Amino acid sequence: MDSQSDQRGRGRGRGGRGRGRGRGRARGASINNCSNNDDNFNNYDTTYNGDQQNDNGYFQQQQRENSRVQSTRGEPRVNENRKRHADEDTTLSADSNQTGAIQGMDTTGLVPFGNLHFDQNTMRAVQEVFKYTHMTPVQSMTLPTILLGKDVLAKARTGTGKTLAFLIPSIDLMVKHPRKSRTDIQTVIISPTRELATQIFDEASKLTRFHPQLRSMVMVGGIPMGKDLRALKEGGASPDILVATPGRLQDHLSNTPHFADSMRGIKMLILDEGDQLLDMGFRREIERIVSHLPSNTGAHPRQSLCFSATVPPVLAKVLSTALRKEYVSIDCTTVAGGKSNDTHDTTKVPQAQGLVDFNDVFVATCMAIGDEIERNPTDHKIIVFLPTARQAGFIASMLENWFNGRSNPLGRNRTSVYEIHSRKSMPQRQKVSAAFRTAQHGVMVSSDVSARGVDYPDVSFVLQVGTPVSQEQYVHRLGRTGRAGKTGRGLILLGTFEKVFLNKLKAFKVEDGLPSLLAFLSKHGDITDVLDAIRAIDRKLKEQTYQAWLGYYKGYCKPFNWTSADLVQHANQLAIEGMGLDSVPALQKSTIGKMGLKGVPGINIDPVSNQGGGRGGGRGGGRGGHGGGRR
C-alpha cells in the first residue's frame, strides 16, 4: 500500500523473439554465445555443451568458472511513448491550469494539506495520526478534482500517496451526506489482492479515528464467509466503508441474502490498481459488481474513481460502465517537460541483472542473498519474488535449510525466512506480513501477492527470480525498495533462455550483477552448503514446483521460441539437475491434458491416474505468462 512520501522534497518519479531453443543439457553455456547487444537477440544461442551429470543426477561439480553465472548489460533508451486512450473526456497533467492541479507550494516544494477544504476531523487524523503536513504531488493533483465530486481516472504508480487521495474525499462525502439507512454501505473500495485490501482497511481505520460514527470493514478470500456475515451485522448496521477483493465481493452479492440491497446506497466506488485487477482476470467480476450499484447518473449520481499505474485499452472499456461519461483523466506520472512526478521513482533504485546457467538459478539465488546479508549484516531486509506460489515455497525451504546448515558461510549472520503466497491461508499471510513489516532484518519469499501496493518499510534489496509477467510487474516489484527516502537496490536473475525479457528493460539503467555474485562465491570457496540445502527439500514440494514451473512457462513458449517438447525438456532437466530428483515427477493424466501437453515426449504420466484410479488432476501452474493463476 502507498506510504506517504518523505515530506522534505519531491521525488521524480516489446521484447524481440529469440531463436535459440536451448536444446541439450542446460550446462556450461559459452559466454561468447550470449551477445551483449540486445538487438542481436535473434542470434542468441542457448545450445549447451552437454556436460554429463554425476551419479546422483545433480551438480557434477561444486564450483565452476565464471560461466556458471552470466550477465548482460542493459542499455538505456528514451522514455516510452504515452498514448491517450479514446474514452478520455478531459485530461489533466501536473502542469495543467484546470481543476486538477492546485497552486500554493511553499518552500518545501509541496502543497500543504491546509490549502484544501475538507472535514476538520479528517484533517485532524491526517495531522495527528499520520503526522502529515504536506500533500504528495499525486494528492495535490487529484484531491481538488475529486472533492468537487468529479469521477476521476488517475494514472499514478504505487508509493505516491494515492490511498489518502481517494480515502479523504470518500470520508468527506459520507460526513456531508449521512446515509439514510443503517444497512447501507456508503463506500466500496475494490483491491486486487488480499494484502493490499487489508492495508487500505488499516489506513481507513486510522483516517476515521475521529469519526466514531463511521465503521470500516475488509472482506477478502481465505476468510470463512461466516466471519464476514458477523462483521457485516456488527452493531446492527452495515459498515460505512467496505474494502474487498473482487471474488469475495461477488460471492456475497450472489449468495448472501440482502447483501445486494445494502449496496444500493453506495455513494462512492473506488477501483484501486485498476490495471492489475484486469491482469488478474477480474474483469467479469467487476462488471457484475458495477451492475449491482446505484446509477452514476441522475440527481444524486454515484461518484467513481479509478487509480491505475497504466491505462491499457481494456481498462478504458471497463471504465466506460463504471465511471460517468464526462470523467476526468489525470496523469500524475509526469510534469511539464515530461519529467517524472513520482515521489517514489524506481529509476533511481540501482538495478542489476544476471543471466545464469539454467540449473544454477537456485545457487545464484543463495549467492545474491548471501551477498546482501554480508553488505548489511544487521539491517538487511530482503524480498525475493518468484513467479508461482510453489516456486516461492521451494525457495523458502531452500533458504531455511541453507541458513540452518552447519556449513552456512554466513555464520552468525543467519536470518529469519518469511514465506507468503496464495497457498497460505489468509490468517497465515496476515501473520507473516505483520511479522516482516516490524522485523529489523529478514528474508521474505513471495509470489506476486506482495508485488504491488503492499508497503514494507526499510526493504534494502529486491531479488526477482525468473521472468516477471510484464515490465510493469518488474517495476512494481522493484518498487518495494527505495521507499520514503530510504536506499535500496534490485537484482533480477534469469535463466539464459529467459534473456528475451531483458529487451523490456532497455529503458532502465540495469548494471551487470555478475561481479558481486562471483565475489561471494570466490570468498566462500564452494557451494556444498547450497547443494545440501536443495537435497533436503521435501520431494513432494519439488514435484509440485516442477508442475507449477511447467504451467507457468507454458505461457512463454512463443516468446522463447519453444515447442512443447522444448518446454518439457527444460522442466525435466530442472527436476533432475537443478532440484536433485532421481526421476522426472509423474503428473496425472488430467493435469497433462489441461496443460495441453498430451503426447509430448518426456512427460511422465502417473500410472495410477492413467488407469483411472486417481482422484483427478492437480491445479497446474496457473496461467503462465499472462499474469493469471494463483499467486
Tell me the average pLDDT across 193-218.
95
CB-CB neighbours of 411 under 10 Å: 7
| pLDDT recorded at residue 262 | 94
| pLDDT recorded at residue 295 | 80
pLDDT at 85 over 50: no
pLDDT at 575 over 80: yes
- Which residues neighbour 207 within 8 Å (Cβ) at sequence distance 6 or greater? 122, 125, 126, 129, 130, 164, 167, 168, 171
Nearest Cα to Cα of residue 344 among 475, 509, 168: 475
Report the percentage of the chain scoring pLDDT > 70. 74
d(CA 446, CA 456): 13
Mean pLDDT of the chain: 79
The grid coordinates listed for 550 are 511447467
Residue 23 vs residue 522, higher pLDDT: 522
Tell me the average pLDDT across 532-538.
95
Contact between residue 352 and residue 512 where contact means Cβ atoms under 8 Å apart:
yes
Q: Which of the 8 DSSP states describes residue 626?
A: G
| pLDDT recorded at residue 138 | 93
| pLDDT recorded at residue 313 | 86
Nearest Cα to Cα of residue 447 among 518, 388, 402, 501: 388
| pLDDT recorded at residue 281 | 86
d(CA 167, CA 479): 22
Distances (CA, A) of 619 to 390, 423, 460, 593: 11, 11, 34, 12
Per the rule left: phi > 0, alpha: psi between -120 and 50, beta: everything else, 280 is: alpha
pLDDT at 55 over 70: no
Tell me the range of 63-77, 171-185, 423-437, 477-491 where mean pLDDT is highest. 171-185
In tens, the pLDDT along 558-573 reads 999 999 999 999 999 9
pTM check: above 0.85: no
Domains 31-78+344-538 and 90-333 share a fold: yes
pLDDT at 87 over 80: no
| pLDDT recorded at residue 453 | 60
pLDDT at 124 over 90: yes
Task: Band the pLDDT of 74: cuts 50, 70, 90.
Answer: very low
pLDDT at 427 over 90: no
d(CA 578, CA 27): 10
> Between 1.10.3720.10, 3.40.640.10, 3.40.50.150, 3.40.50.300, what CATH number should domain 90-333 receive?
3.40.50.300
pLDDT at 539 over 70: yes
The grid coordinates listed for 142 are 487529484
| pLDDT recorded at residue 32 | 28
d(CA 602, CA 291): 48
| pLDDT recorded at residue 61 | 40
The grid coordinates listed for 537 are 527439500
d(CA 21, CA 19): 6
d(CA 49, CA 35): 17
pLDDT at 621 over 70: no
Task: Band the pLDDT of 587: cuts 50, 70, 90.
Answer: very high
**Least confident residue range of 170-184, 230-244, 399-413, 486-500:** 399-413
Helix-helix angle 564-573:539-553, to 10 degrees:
150
| pLDDT recorded at residue 294 | 85
d(CA 510, CA 139): 30
Tell me the average pLDDT across 527-542.
93
d(CA 629, CA 422): 10
In tens, the pLDDT along 216-258 reads 999 998 889 999 999 998 888 999 999 999 999 999 999 999 9
Residue type, 107: T
pLDDT at 335 over 60: no
Helix (H, G, I), strand (E, B) or coil at 198: helix
Helix (H, G, I), strand (E, B) or coil at 382: strand
597: exposed, middle or buried (C-beta count within 10 Å: 0-12, 13-18, 19+)? buried
The grid coordinates listed for 375 are 553488505
Task: Band the pLDDT of 594: cuts 50, 70, 90.
Answer: very high
Helical (H) or strand (E) element with 195: helix 194-207
CATH superfamily membership of 31-78+344-538: P-loop containing nucleotide triphosphate hydrolases (3.40.50.300)
In tens, the pLDDT along 372-398 reads 998 988 889 999 999 999 999 999 999
In tens, the pLDDT along 453-494 reads 677 889 999 999 999 988 888 988 898 887 766 789 999 999
| pLDDT recorded at residue 485 | 66
pLDDT at 82 over 70: no
The grid coordinates listed for 224 are 470463512
d(CA 30, CA 228): 57
d(CA 135, CA 112): 6
pLDDT at 75 over 60: no
Contact between residue 432 and residue 402 where contact means Cβ atoms under 8 Å apart:
no
CA torsion 289-291-296-299 (nearest 10°) is: -120
CA angle at 115 for the pair 109 and 120, rounded to the nearest 5°: 130
State CA 261 to chain mean position distance: 34
308: exposed, middle or buried (C-beta count within 10 Å: 0-12, 13-18, 19+)? buried
Tell me the average pLDDT across 278-306.
87
**Least confident residue range of 33-37, 266-270, 413-417, 495-499:** 33-37
| pLDDT recorded at residue 515 | 83
| pLDDT recorded at residue 617 | 42
d(CA 122, CA 142): 17
- Domain segments of the chain as ranges: 31-78+344-538, 90-333, 543-626
Nearest Cα to Cα of residue 250 among 217, 219, 280: 219
